[in-house]
Amino acid sequence: MKSRDSILQCVRDAVTKHPHVAPPPVPEVWPLENPTPAAMAERFTKELTEVHGEVIRCATMEEARKRLAELVEQAEWTSLGGMDRTTVREATADLAPGLIEWAVDGWQPQRMADLSASVIESDVLLADTGSCLIACATAEDRLLCYLPPACVVIARADQLTEHLPAAWATIAPRVADPALRGEFVIVTGPSRTADIEKILILGVHGPKRLVVILVG
């Protein structure tokens, strides 16, 4: 018997003899401190700004629509690609007709790379790192996070959690459901890289500009 087979047989024997042994407890790596929503919003804004991201705080969706329209005009974006979700459609309702196209199956990557910017929806916000968790059901949704030179994330304040372990309760049911496709993408600021001389370059492996419109 080979060593590999011997080891696997030992594992099988152990499982057979002790089928009801409880797994060890999950260690508490990041304790829950339960900060207030206001504190999490402030932390999220601080962390994202420090990695060259931008946060636009809006009290209502109506204000978010106005601020997004202003952003598009100031940046002179002429073509947008959007995740076809209710929140994104609400946020883009004031944009000029034909300015935004909705992601569909079969969109070619080059087509997405030629857009001025993408508009996507966050599912969870991590305050401790300024990160957005994006549930991408399709390849097109995922590539919208990466390919356009600018990315706008529409997020709600009630999506804020203090850190990743605190978000498990939201994430776990989705990833455990075999009927749901895709994966989560974690977005933390614009793409950044540095060469051997430690010169920071933005936009090499993803969008050069990231703006989070935080509503609520």
Q: Which amino acid is at 91?
A: A
Domain assignment present for 163: yes
Q: What is the pTM of this model?
A: 0.82
Tell me, what CATH number does 130's domain have?
Answer: 3.40.50.10420
In a domain, 8, yes or no: no
Nearest to 68 by CA among 120, 28, 115: 120
Structural domain contains residue 136: yes
Q: Is residue 2 part of a domain?
A: no
What per-residue confidence (pLDDT) applies to 176? 80
Closest CA to 75 of 46, 95, 50: 95
Please give the pLDDT value at position 90. Answer: 96
Burial of 108 (0-12, 13-18, 19+ CB in 10 A): exposed
Distance of alpha carbon 39 from alpha carbon 160, whole angstroms: 10
Q: Does residue 24 lie within any of the structural domains? A: no
pLDDT at 149: 94
12 within domain boundaries = no
* In a domain? residue 179: yes
Domain that holds residue 74: 37-215
Nearest by Cα to 207 from 127, 142, 131, 118: 118
The SS3 of residue 65 is helix
For residue 53, give both structure tokens. Answer: 């991201």
Residue 7 falls inside a structural domain:
no
pLDDT in tens, 133-165: 999 988 999 999 999 999 999 999 999 999 999
Least confident of 23-32, 88-97, 103-112, 185-194: 23-32
Q: Are 188 and 128 in contact (CB under 8 A)?
A: no
The tally of domains found in the chain comes to 1
Confidence bin at 83 (pLDDT 50/70/90): very high
